[in-house]
Every structure is written in C-alpha cells, then in structure tokens.
Structure 1
Amino acid sequence: MLEYKPLFNCLPSAEDLPDSDDTPVDNELQDLIPGFLKAILAWIWASRMDWFFGVDMGVYYDPDLPPIVPDGFLSLGVRRIVSENLRLSYVLWEEKVLPTMVLEVVSKKRRGEYTKKKDFYAKLGSSYYVIYNPIRPNKPPLDVYRLVNGEYVKQKGNPVWLEEVGLAIGHERGTHLGITRDWLYWYDQQGVRYLTPEELATTAEQRATTAEQRAKRLAEKLRSLGIDPDTLN
C-alpha cells in the first residue's frame, strides 16, 4: 500500500491543489457509466451520509505527484457532503480513507486499464478494481478484481458481490436517458437488480394513475347507487 508521511502541516489542502487536469474524456460513456451508478446509489443509500462516489475526479495520493483520475470511485466511511461547495478533489491525507472500489471505462484509446492502472490501484490498496469494456470485442464486458494479499484476483460471475461494499455490480441491457444499450447496475446479494431513478419515477407514475382510475370507478359505482361521492368524508 502506498504511504506518504511528511509533516502534516506542510501538506497542501484540496483548495491548494488543481481540481482538474484539463484532459477531456475519450467518449461520453466514461462520464455516463459512473454517473449512472452514482445516481442509483444515491437512491439505494439515500439515508446514509458515510459514502462518496467520485466521477472523473482527481485522487491525490502524494503531494509531490499529479493525481490519478479514475472514471469513477467509491469510498466508504467518509462524509458524503463536506460543504455546500462539495469536493474539489479527493485528497487522501485529508480524507484518510482509500477508495474501496475504483472503476475504469475502456475506450478505443489504450490507457493501461489492464496493466499499469491495475498494478497502481493494487499498490494503492483499493479493495476492488472494476473494468467496464463497452468497446473492445476481444475483451470481456466486465472484469471485477478483488485485492487479496496485495494482488488483484479476478472474480467470477455477473453480477459480482462486493463484500466490503454490501452490494453487487453487474451489467445488462437497459435504457438510461433514452439510450438503450448495455449498462452497469447495482444488485443485492441475491442478484436482484436495484431500480434506477427513471424506473422508480415510472413506477410511481403508474401507481398514481392506477389509484386515480380506481377512484374514478368507485365514484361511478357510488353514483349508480344514488350516492354522491363528493358528500362522503
């Protein structure tokens, strides 16, 4: 695990460090995929304030080196909201908590997801490393690695249970933002997929419509019996 132990009062804060490396993402999916996972998680853990999911955010692990910028990462045991201005970046010597899970979304441009990044995150000490591959046909769509004795071991299955997270991650075809394709989702321990915010909104709307239709039928029935439903409490 990487360690850096200079004098604490010499370390720069998040406000002192650059919050962007001005490097654009290679394609839309590198933002959409982790952003979608974050949106679902915000519903699953709506009452919890001890987690943070970063999207395309710099993770500073050494004040003398530039940050690593995963497509997404999940940290547990940290404040979900640090201030009304939110986080500028994720600074390990301030947070004191390593990302539990790191996500990289593969693009046509080779960025070392299967080699140098995998080795780096293992050395950093993140419990899980997830590679989602929506583009390259010679690689599986999803690889999930768990850190065991300092090395990543590939996990089998879809979805894959993440013990430290208490959720499973997997992929299947679905629709998000009007786009029907393969997406990453969260699942429970039995492999049941959690609904997305869009699906929840649709379900709530359908329930409201059903309730309204039932109320109308009941009112019509009462009127047929000579009872004015508007006079009933």
Structure 2
Amino acid sequence: MPFPTTKLIQQPLLMVNLPTQTDPPLSPRQTLPTMYDLPSDNPEEPGLPDEFHFLQPLLLFLTFQPANWNPELVFSACDLNLYYDVNHPQWYKRPDWFGVVGIPRLYEGRDLRLSYVVWQEVINPYVVVELLSPGTQEEDLGQTVQTPGNPPTKWQVYEQILRIPYSIVFSRYTNELQAFQLVGGHYEPMNMIDNRLLMPELGLSLGLWQGSFRGINRLWLRWMTLEGELILTPEEEAVEAQERAVAERERAERLAARLRELGVEPDDVE
C-alpha cells in the first residue's frame, strides 16, 4: 500500500576507525566495529520518553522465557542500540524491546552488552516490540519511506534487512495491539487466538493482561505460555512461594488441631 512521504532526521554518525581491508577480504566480524566501538550511549538522545517506556519493556524482559530454548541461549534487551548494516556500521535502530534466541546471554559468553551488533552476533533478533508514541507512530507502523541520503526506516530494517519473524506494536493510549509476521519476505498482519499471539517456535504466546506491575494497575503486554498461563516475574514467584508456605502452615495447624481434638498429640504422630 502507498505510504505518505515523511522527512526523516538522519541519525548522528559515530567516528569509527575501520581496519585496512585485505585480498581476499576478511569477514565483517574481523573488520567492522564491535559493540565496544558502537555502544548504546548517545548524547543526542538523553533519557526515555516516559515511565511507561521503562516499565513495559521491563515486564517483557522479565517474562521472556522461551520454553523451547536453553535459558543460557536467550537474550533480550530494552532500549539497546541495534546496529544492522555492515556497509553502514554507524546506522542503528533502538527498539523498545527485542528478543533473540540461539545466542549466549553474555557477549561471547563473557561480557554484558553495550549494544547489539549483528555482524558480530551473527544471529538476528527473533521478535521486536515497539511502543507507540505520537512522535514515532508513523515509522513504527511502516507509514514512512526512506529519503535519499538517510538511513532506511525502522520498518524496512526489521522487514527487509534483519527479516525479524515477528514485529509487535502496542499503544498505551488505545490499548491496541498490532502484530506482523514475516511471510514470504513481507510483514503480514497476525491473527490472535484467544486474545493472544501464538509463537510456537518459541513455545510462547504474547497477550494483554490486566494487573499490577511495580504498583501500577493497568493493561500490560506480557509473555505467557502457549496455553495462556502467565510467566511469572521473580517478584510474582516470590509472592506465590510465600502464599504456598502460608497455606501449607495453615493446613498443618488445622491438622494438628484436629488431632488434639481426638486426643492425639501431633508430635507423637510419625
């Protein structure tokens, strides 16, 4: 479908010294900048746009636990620079949240990431989530086009360059969830089943949940099992464990009281 033309602001270039190429040429992994050269910090983009853009990606981060993958080979990030083009190593996008499977949790198994550099990592993200805001809505929904001399749009990067299988867009203002799956090289709208987006390759589903997270009760986007059960955050797991312990103690107390009614001391029962 035709998209209206929107002028995009060119992202600032990072000064990177590239090594001299050889004949035959070396691989991009050996010649192009690494995450240490291409960090996430950018003085032109200070801070996050609002508190929701911190809390919602955090909930996705805490509940992204693909059932079909070893947890040590699962990585996800919030607001981390994603460098995607070996021919333009300064270009990047910054998804609100993205998840990768088949890659070590630590960079090369030893360090926390400063950014995600695809020519170093080799594996592209599997799912990306963007949170709509008035300033990014058109680009997040693929309604902008690349202009000469500027980097490709976010939609182009996700669909045509990185070929990310799932692209999700959620609006906190309308609570509308839009999802796109890569089919034949192009994004097609996904159908929801039981109000959830099923991703069987991950053993997960993604849906909307009304509840309290970090003391804020609203409609949240969060990961669930394929059957629709919530994947608990560490805080929720701790509360559930405490509730189980209380229930078990109360059950034991009721049993002890009943035994005493029958004239039996609980300590005498093996």
Whether TM-score is above 0.5 comes out as yes
Q: TM-score, normalised by structure 1?
A: 0.85
Gaps in structure 2 of 5+ consecutive residues: 1-20, 143-152
User: Deviation at 1:107?
Assistant: 1.6
1:1-233 to structure 2, matched below 5 A, reads 7-8=26-27, 9-22=30-43, 23=45, 24-42=47-65, 48-62=71-85, 64-82=89-107, 83=109, 85-110=111-136, 112-115=139-142, 116-124=153-161, 125-135=163-173, 137=174, 141-157=176-192, 158-233=195-270
- Contact between 1:55 and 1:72, CA under 8 Å: does it hold in 2? yes
Q: TM-score, normalised by structure 2?
A: 0.74
User: Deviation at 1:120?
Assistant: 2.3
User: Deviation at 1:110?
Assistant: 2.9
SS at match of 1:49: helix
The Cα RMSD (Å) is: 2.6
Gaps in structure 1 of 5+ consecutive residues: none
- Contact between 1:52 and 1:79, CA under 8 Å: does it hold in 2? yes
Identical-residue share of aligned pairs (%): 33
* Higher mean C-alpha deviation, range 173-182 or range 60-69: 60-69
How far apart, in 2, do the equivalents of 1:156 and 1:195 lie?
25
| Matched residue, 2:8 | none
Q: Which amino acid aligns with 2:223?
A: W
Q: Which amino acid aligns with 1:213?
A: E
- Contact between 2:93 and 2:154, CA under 8 Å: does it hold in 1? no
User: Deviation at 1:151?
Assistant: 1.0
SS at match of 1:205: helix
Moved over 4 A (4+): 42-47
Q: Which amino acid aligns with 1:133?
A: S
How far apart, in 1, do the equivalents of 2:200 and 2:187 lie?
15
